[in-house]
Amino acid sequence: MAGGLKEVRERIVSVKNTQQITKAMKMVAAAKLRRAQQAITQLRPYAEKQNAMLKNILSNLGGEADISFGKEREVKNACVVVVTSNRGLCGAFNSNIIKAANAVIKDQFADLEKSGNLRILPIGKKANDFYKKRYPENVLINDHVMLFDDLSFANVSQVARRLMTAFAENEFDSIYVSYGKFKNAATQFAITEKFLPVTQTTVAEESDNTSKANYIFEPNMEQLLENLVPSILQSSFQKYVLDTHASEHGARMTAMDKASENADELLKELKLSYNKARQEAITKEILEIVGGAAALEGG
């Protein structure tokens, strides 16, 4: 019984130590979340306004615009960008993003995957670790795995420009991005969005109810859009990354909070078990003493 008590005591100490770690990780995640949330909330209105402006223009042009990043062509080569975190301990956050990416691969690019004409660009170690086990090296574009080490616009826009160049040079005919969209500390969504090409079909749903507007273009329409679209695409890609960054810390904070609560429940159960075992041990000792005293009196 003494051995059992010792084992329970050691488990209680172990759970308490683990709980201290989870509480500390929750506090760290909360501090990082505040900064990450501030970054995405500052960028999102600007990026969304740019997208709304582009969608409004394209929807009102009725397909007249002819821009290099809006040319739909037969999809012979494609790329899927998967944006995850570098670290785990954030619940199902990373696995949900990978599932979203795998879904678009299965639905849109199954034939290209079989023929070897699909490339995957992982951002974040979790995405890279997952896909490097399932695809040969020539499928992965792993030059930007550690992008989260520097989230400045200048650094992130390099990836966007690389993808835009690859599309313009016909290296890729279609590019999708899977990432974690941040709503609040407790809610994040794993979604996939079409990055290129920018076409009428990609904006039709949100523009159906938009009233037609008359635009006067200066300079001409094509020249204006050729300068506007790259800027919008870079802002959109920055939003994908910052959304995922904030979502990661929100998911980790929630996961560590749940882990601390579970540790509390486990401690209650362990303390109850310890008290029961201790009472049993005391009762047994008392019975032995009483039995010994009775034996002496009888003797």
Q: CA 255, CA 82: separation in Å to the nearest integer?
A: 22
Contact predicate 78/119, CB 8 Å? yes
Q: Does 90 participate in catalysis according to the annotation?
A: yes
Contact predicate 166/172, CB 8 Å? yes
Q: What is the DSSP letter of 137?
A: G
Contact predicate 234/160, CB 8 Å? yes
Q: What is the 3-state secondary structure (H, E, C) of 25-77?
A: HHHHHHHHHHHHHHHHHHHHHHHHHHHHHHHHHHHHHCCCCCCHHHCCCCCCC
3-state secondary structure of 191: strand
Q: Radius of gyration (Cα) for the chain, nearest Å?
A: 29
Q: CA 138, CA 202: separation in Å to the nearest integer?
A: 30
Contact predicate 94/88, CB 8 Å? yes
Decide: residue 14, CB within 10 A, 0-12 exposed, 13-18 middle, 19+ buried: exposed
Amino acid (1-letter code) at residue 91: G
Q: Which residues contact 202 (CB under 8 A, 6 or more apart)?
A: 194
Q: Which of 90, 159, 198, 263 is catalytic?
A: 90
Catalytic residues: 90
